[in-house]
Amino acid sequence: MKAAASALFGSPDSLHARPNTFGELLRAIVSPSRTVQEAVNWALKGVDPDIALHMRMMSSRPVEARQAAASCIKRAIQICHIQGTPRVALVSDTPSFVQDIKSDISEFAEVIYFDYELFVNKSNWMFGNDTPLDFRLRDWGPAPRWAAIVDFFLASRARYAVITGAHPRVGTTYAQLIAALAAANTYDLKPSGANFTFLSSIHSSLLVHGLSTQVGRSHIWDTYAGPLSCGHQPHQCAVTPLLPPTWWDGTWQSPNPRDVKRLSEYGVQLSITGEVDESQLLAHCRSREDHVDRYSVLSSDIKNS
Q: What is the pLDDT of residues 294-305, one digit of tens each?
A: 677 665 555 555
Rounded mean pLDDT, 141-146: 78
User: Which among 207, 239, 218 has a CA at the least distance from the CA of 171?
Assistant: 218
Instruction: Give DSSP secondary structure letters for 51-97.
Output: EEEEEE-TT---HHHHHHHHHHHHHHHHHHT--SSPEEEEEES-HHH
Q: What distance in Å separates the CA atoms of residue 185 and residue 62, rounded to the nearest whole number?
A: 33
Please indicate whether residue 185 or residue 2 has the higher confidence score (pLDDT): 185
154 in Cβ contact with 182 (< 8 Å): no
Q: What distance in Å separates the CA atoms of residue 216 and residue 207, rounded to the nearest whole number?
A: 16
| Cα R_g (the chain), whole angstroms | 24
The rounded mean pLDDT for the chain is 82
Q: What distance in Å separates the CA atoms of residue 40 and residue 126, rounded to the nearest whole number?
A: 16
Rounded mean pLDDT, 260-272: 83
Type of residue numbered 122: K
240 in Cβ contact with 199 (< 8 Å): yes
241 in Cβ contact with 198 (< 8 Å): yes
- Which residues lie across from 239 on neighbouring strands? 199
Which pTM value belongs to this model?
A: 0.82
Please indicate whether residue 245 or residue 111 has the higher confidence score (pLDDT): 111
Question: Residue 80: which residues within 8 A CB-CB, separation 6 or more?
Answer: 50, 51, 160, 161, 195, 197
Task: Classify strands 110-113 and 197-202 as parallel, antiparallel or unpaired.
Answer: unpaired
What pLDDT, on a 0 to 100 scale, did the predictor assign at position 47?
A: 94
Q: What distance in Å separates the CA atoms of residue 101 and residue 60, rounded to the nearest whole number?
A: 13
| Backbone region of residue 58 per phi and psi (left: phi > 0; alpha: psi in -120 to 50; beta: other values) | left
**In the predicted model, is pLDDT for residue 135 greater than 80?**
no
204 in Cβ contact with 235 (< 8 Å): yes
User: Which among 213, 202, 270 has a CA at the least distance from the CA of 240?
Assistant: 202
DSSP assignment letter at 270:
B
Alpha-carbon distances, residue 3 vs 18, 19, 24, 83, 190 (angstroms): 14, 14, 21, 35, 19
Q: Edge-to-edge strands of the sheet including 87-92?
A: 110-113, 87-92, 51-56, 161-166, 197-202, 236-239
Please indicate whether residue 279 or residue 37 has the higher confidence score (pLDDT): 37
Domain residue ranges of the chain, discontinuous segments joined by +: 2-250, 255-286
Please indicate whether residue 175 or residue 129 has the higher confidence score (pLDDT): 175
- Which residues lie across from 166 on neighbouring strands? 56
What pLDDT, on a 0 to 100 scale, did the predictor assign at position 229?
A: 82
pLDDT (tens digit, 9 = 90+) per residue, 81-131?
999 999 999 999 888 888 889 988 999 999 999 998 888 888 766 666 566
Which of 32-36, 67-71, 105-109, 263-267 is least confident?
263-267
